């Protein structure tokens, strides 16, 4: 199962034994139609309020503390009542209770028409003392105490929200006094001060952790979502307004997280608006709604991503259409994801941070979607990553199982599933080392099975994103989180329609936390053109231009600054310990890669300076260096893991034997890393090309090796070529390999390494290149450079004598093509030509 549930509270486990020990559990085995033990509320501090019937059918109220794992008896009514709503203040001195006194039938039979059906009481419970009637009405009432900020002394005043079925919400201010015996008494003898918070609402949800009230009021032709924020200083303000295109035909008031009245929920759940609001720590605000569908085997639900400015409506074709099993979609808040769950059908994890591409949301069916502990939809999310099963009376901590996610990743056959699982593993779990290792192993096995995305690119970009973004506010809006620009795939059985919606209007000043982050998200949506995320288009073009103009610009101040950036990155790299040196990457000069490193530093710094001026230049410099250094370390991490997996050793550069199967696999992975790096225009660690070429020499046949070199897959490096020329003996096969490599060397690199191969073939190559350059320069301008003295060797071979005489004549005319390449001794050329000629004739030379 992908979702992992841990029971933090269970009535049967945590309450029943406590009741039994005190002799209060005898009445719990009553008829199946009588609910005698159930949860009625969950408070902000994690305390759970429940009620049960005692031996004499008395109605008791108890409290369970999740932190101390202790139960506490709060109050007892000497009557058989059905508790509708209950709340206790943070000091546990006051208890608000709403219950139904009589049913309509009972009132008629007892001739009690003048007696109110529902009663709401405020009770002093520390110690048990006075009882005050707040409401005596025929409409249902819910109660909820406000909780102050932690550490704030509010023992002299409590605030209570009273929610009426008549569609209004009031706030009662309750002042108390404590005498010397710590007895708490309500101070006002008359009517308690009250203030009207909301009128004419049709739906409301309480956010106990952040003390926020979301509610919906019908406004002309649109439905308007609003939010009231309650502050520790006893004030409250309307802080948000957003228009939603949600049809509300029913007049039944729907309340979410205002306690759990089970009987009422069972009666009217199908008639009420199934809607919930979820927030995330990163400033995400989502409205989840289950929609009616005219087609029996279809389920429709809609997610309003208010922080992104669009709405996605999903239509799911069900695999099994037994009507008696179909229920409404249940929604769960997992912070980074919103879960839409239909038992026995599907589990849809919708990405809140990055909902633009559907491939970043996990859609599971069958066994993958099964949640054993949740077999019905009577669930609520009173806290983030928490689910309360109302019927069972259990509260679970919900998280995504990393082992189940890896299993799903390994078993997935579709790119959409692989990409969603990969994205979840990297960004939801935040770089857990063991998980990261297993992902790298999966990537090494599935490089050829992913067709619509490059798993190496996605791994590097997503890992960089989750490493860097927590450091600085708003950095997540400037750094890329994916290598994909779009995705045109489909999810079988799911149709998604996207609609642009108006952004919410916020009304607050100097508010921190969630509202500040939401405001920042909305600002980024407004000014997202040009796109805020860093792109490599300019980097690629500048790198190509500088690479082609190397000779002309090697001394410019601009290039000196670029290479200074590269030096800072290399010095900023984490030290590679002995275990990491298992991969023989060398700290060597690599002009192209250092140029790319320096350019990336410069351009990323410019990008961040345009949007993060308030952070400061010093901090931005640090962020940029960390980003590029982490990029190089991630490539090295991939190399280290595949090196360890295929059990390679550091003696890869012994060219006298062929490579193993494991080496060939690593060579293939390195080729894909290179392809991914070229696609993203990102630098590679020093020595990458040397190691890649060394593995290529060991693993590939000569014609394939040369094909890879000619097509730019393998790059000739001084370190590898020099070792190749020095270490390999001059057998016929090795001569052919060396000569083929030497022929392909760039001129500057060739002059450095050819001297390490003392062989007639190499000398012949040098001589032929010298003659070719001489002949190409025939007729060019005269050179005033003095001709060096030469010693002629008489040779009885007329063609060679004629060639040397011609070269001498050309040289006497002042043509010297090696002005830039340096001096070439003509005697050496003559001897080389003689050796080559006699070799071709089969003659012995002495």
Q: What is the DSSP string of 123-148?
A: EEETTEEEEEEEEEESS-EEEEE---
* Domain match, 698 and 803 both: no
Residue 780 lies in a domain: yes
d(CA 752, CA 439): 42
Which sign, positive or negative, has the C-alpha torsion 65, 68, 71, 74?
Answer: negative
Chain CA centroid to CA 53, Å: 48
Smallest Cα–Cα separation from 688: which of 790, 587, 773? 587
* Residue 598 maps to a domain: yes
Q: CA-to-CA distance for 492 and 469, rounded, in angstroms?
A: 33
Nearest to 637 by CA among 555, 703, 577, 721: 577
pLDDT score at 650: 64
Task: Name the token pair of 305.
Answer: 């991503």
Side by side, which strands form the sheet with 379-380?
3-10, 394-400, 386-389, 379-380
Residue 245: predicted pLDDT: 86
Which of 683, 698, 715 is a domain's end point?
Answer: 715
Q: In 267-285, which positions are buried (b, 16+ CB within 10 angstroms) versus exposed (e)?
A: eeeeebbbbbbbbbebbbb
**Cα distance between residue 387 and residue 372, in whole Å:** 13
Same domain, 711 and 818: no
Return left, alpha or beta for 703; rule: phi > 0 is left, psi -120 to 50 is alpha, else beta: alpha
Answer yes or no: is 465 within a domain: no
Q: What is the structure's pLDDT at 80? A: 85
Number of domains in the chain: 2
Domain residue limits at 575: 534-715
Hey, is 836 helix, strand or coil?
Answer: helix
Whether 25 maps to a domain, the answer reads no
Q: What is residue 727's predicted lDDT score, i.e. its pLDDT? A: 78
In a domain, 669, yes or no: yes
Q: Tell me, yes or no, whether 699 and 766 share the same domain.
A: no
Edge-to-edge, what's the strand order for the sheet holding 47-53? Answer: 37-42, 47-53, 59-65, 70-77
772 and 692 together in one domain: no
Q: Which pLDDT score is estimated for 780?
A: 55
User: Same domain, yes or no, for 702 and 765?
Assistant: no
Q: Are 709 and 769 part of one and the same domain?
A: no
Claim to verify: residue 656 and residue 553 sit in the same structural domain: yes
- Are residues 822 and 768 part of one domain? yes
Rounded-to-integer distance, Cα 801 and Cα 795, Å: 7
Residues 802 and 662 both lie in one domain: no
Cα–Cα distance measured from residue 290 to residue 247, given in angstroms and rounded to the nearest whole number: 11
236 three-state secondary structure: strand
3-state helix, strand, coil in the chain (%, to 5): 40, 25, 40
Structure tokens at 61: 């109220």
**Are 660 and 771 within one domain?**
no
Res 811: pLDDT: 61
In a domain, 675, yes or no: yes
Q: Which pLDDT score, from 0 to 100, does residue 818 have?
A: 45
Distance CA 676, CA 771 (A): 42
DSSP per-residue string spanning 259-323 = ---HHHHHHHGGGS--EEEEE-TTS-EEEEEEE--SSTTEEEEEEEETTTTEEEEEEEE-S---T
* pLDDT tens for each residue of 396-455: 999 999 999 999 999 999 999 999 999 999 988 876 788 889 999 999 999 988 888 999
Domain boundary residue among 661, 680, 715?
A: 715
Do both 619 and 540 map to the same domain? yes
User: Would 597 be classed as within a structural domain?
Assistant: yes
Query: What is the arrangement of strands in the sheet containing 330-333, beginning at the earlier edge strand?
Result: 330-333, 337-342, 346-351, 362-365
Contact between residue 103 and residue 79 where contact means Cβ atoms under 8 Å apart: no
For the chain, which residues score pLDDT lower than 70? 25-35, 102-114, 150-155, 179-182, 189, 221, 249-251, 261-272, 320-326, 376-377, 431, 529-530, 549-555, 574-587, 650-652, 750-751, 753-846
Q: What is the pLDDT of residue 793?
A: 46
CB-CB contact of 259 with 142 (8 Å): yes
Locate 471 and state its tokens: 């450091």
559 and 683 part of one domain: yes
Which residues have a Cβ under 8 Å from the Cβ of 329 and sit 6 or more positions away?
Answer: 274, 290, 299, 301, 340, 341, 342, 377
Bridge-based pairing state of the strands 203-207 and 254-256? parallel
Is residue 18 domain-resident?
A: no
Query: Of the candidates 653, 686, 715, which is a domain's last residue?
Result: 715
Q: 813-834, pLDDT tens digit by residue? A: 554 444 444 445 566 666 666 6
């Amino acid at each position: 199962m992908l979702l992992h549930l841990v029971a933090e509270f269970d009535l049967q486990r945590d309450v029943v034994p406590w009741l039994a020990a005190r002799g209060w559990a005898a009445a719990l085995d009553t008829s199946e139609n009588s609910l005698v033990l159930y949860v009625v509320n969950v408070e902000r501090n994690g305390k759970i309020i429940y009620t049960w019937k005692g031996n004499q059918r008395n109605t008791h109220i108890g409290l369970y503390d999740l932190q101390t794992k202790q139960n506490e008896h709060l109050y007892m009514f000497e009557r058989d009542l059905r508790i509708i709503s209950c709340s206790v203040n943070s000091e546990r001195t006051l208890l608000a209770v709403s219950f139904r006194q009589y049913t309509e039938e009972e009132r008629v039979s007892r001739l009690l028409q003048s007696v109110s059906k529902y009663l709401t009481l405020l009770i002093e419970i520390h110690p048990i003392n006075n009882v005050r009637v707040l409401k005596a009405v025929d409409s249902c009432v819910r109660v909820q105490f406000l909780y102050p900020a932690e550490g704030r002394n509010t023992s002299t005043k409590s605030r209570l929200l009273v929610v009426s079925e008549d569609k209004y919400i009031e706030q009662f201010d309750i002042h108390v006094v404590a005498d010397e015996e710590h007895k708490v008494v309500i101070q006002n003898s008359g009517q308690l001060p009250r203030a009207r918070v909301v009128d004419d609402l049709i739906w409301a949800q309480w956010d106990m952790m952040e003390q926020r009230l979301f509610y919906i009021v019908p406004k002309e032709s649109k439905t308007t979502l609003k939010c009231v924020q309650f502050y520790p200083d006893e004030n409250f303000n309307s802080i948000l307004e957003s228009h939603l295109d949600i049809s509300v035909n029913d007049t039944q008031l729907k309340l979410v997280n205002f306690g759990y009245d089970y009987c009422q929920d069972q009666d009217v759940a199908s008639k009420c608006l199934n809607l919930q609001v979820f927030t995330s720590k990163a400033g995400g605000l989502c409205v989840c709604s289950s929609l009616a569908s005219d087609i029996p085997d279809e389920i429709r639900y809609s997610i309003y991503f208010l922080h992104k400015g669009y709405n996605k409506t999903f239509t799911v074709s069900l695999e099994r259409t037994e009507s008696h099993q179909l229920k409404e979609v249940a929604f769960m808040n997992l912070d980074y994801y919103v879960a839409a769950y239909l038992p026995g059908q599907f589990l849809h994890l919708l990405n809140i941070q990055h909902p633009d591409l559907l491939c970043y949301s996990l859609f599971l069916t069958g066994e993958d979607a099964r949640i054993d502990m949740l077999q019905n939809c009577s669930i609520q999310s009173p806290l983030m990553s928490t689910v309360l099963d109302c019927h069972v009376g259990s509260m679970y901590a919900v998280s995504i199982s990393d082992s189940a996610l890896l299993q799903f990743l390994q078993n997935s056959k579709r790119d959409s599933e692989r990409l969603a699982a990969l994205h979840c593993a990297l960004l939801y779990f935040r770089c857990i080392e063991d998980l990261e290792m297993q992902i790298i192993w999966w990537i090494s096995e599935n490089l050829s099975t992913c067709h619509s995305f490059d798993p190496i690119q996605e791994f590097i970009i997503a890992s960089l994103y989750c490493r860097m973004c927590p450091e600085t506010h708003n950095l997540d809006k400037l750094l890329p989180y994916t290598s994909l620009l779009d995705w045109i795939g489909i999810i079988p059985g799911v149709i998604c329609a996207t609609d642009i919606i108006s952004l919410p209007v916020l009304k607050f000043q100097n508010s921190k936390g969630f509202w500040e982050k939401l405001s920042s998200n909305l600002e980024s949506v407004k000014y997202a053109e040009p796109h805020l995320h860093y792109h490599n288009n300019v980097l690629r073009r500048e790198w190509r231009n500088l690479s082609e103009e190397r000779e002309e610009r090697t001394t410019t101040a601009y290039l000196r600054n670029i290479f200074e950036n590269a030096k800072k990155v290399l010095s900023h790299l984490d030290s590679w310990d002995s275990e990491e040196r298992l991969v023989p990457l060398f700290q060597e000069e690599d002009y192209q890669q250092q140029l790319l490193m320096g350019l990336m530093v410069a351009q990323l710094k410019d990008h961040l300076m345009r949007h993060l001026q308030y952070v400061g230049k010093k901090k931005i410099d640090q962020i940029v260096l960390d980003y590029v250094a982490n990029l190089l370390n991630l490539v090295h991490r991939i190399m280290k893991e595949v090196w360890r997996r295929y059990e390679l050793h550091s003696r890869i550069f012994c060219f006298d034997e062929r490579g193993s199967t494991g080496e060939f696999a690593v060579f293939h992975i390195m080729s894909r890393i290179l392809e991914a790096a070229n696609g993203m225009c990102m630098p590679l660690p020093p020595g990458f090309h040397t190691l890649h070429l060394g593995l290529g020499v060991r693993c590939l046949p000569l014609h394939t090796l040369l094909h890879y070199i000619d097509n730019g897959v393998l790059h000739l490096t001084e370190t590898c070529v020099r070792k190749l020329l020095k270490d390999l003996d001059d057998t016929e096969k090795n001569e052919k390999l060396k000569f083929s490599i030497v022929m392909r060397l760039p001129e500057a690199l060739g002059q450095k390494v050819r001297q390490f191969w003392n062989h007639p073939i190499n000398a012949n190559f040098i001589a032929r290149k010298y003659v070719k350059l001489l002949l190409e320069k025939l007729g060019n301008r005269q050179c005033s450079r003095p001709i060096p003295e030469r010693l002629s060797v008489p040779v009885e071979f007329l063609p060679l004598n004629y060639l040397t005489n011609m070269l001498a004549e050309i040289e006497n005319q002042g043509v010297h093509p090696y002005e830039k390449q340096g001096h070439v001794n003509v005697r050496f050329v003559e001897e080389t030509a003689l050796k080559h000629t006699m070799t071709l004739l089969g003659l012995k030379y002495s």
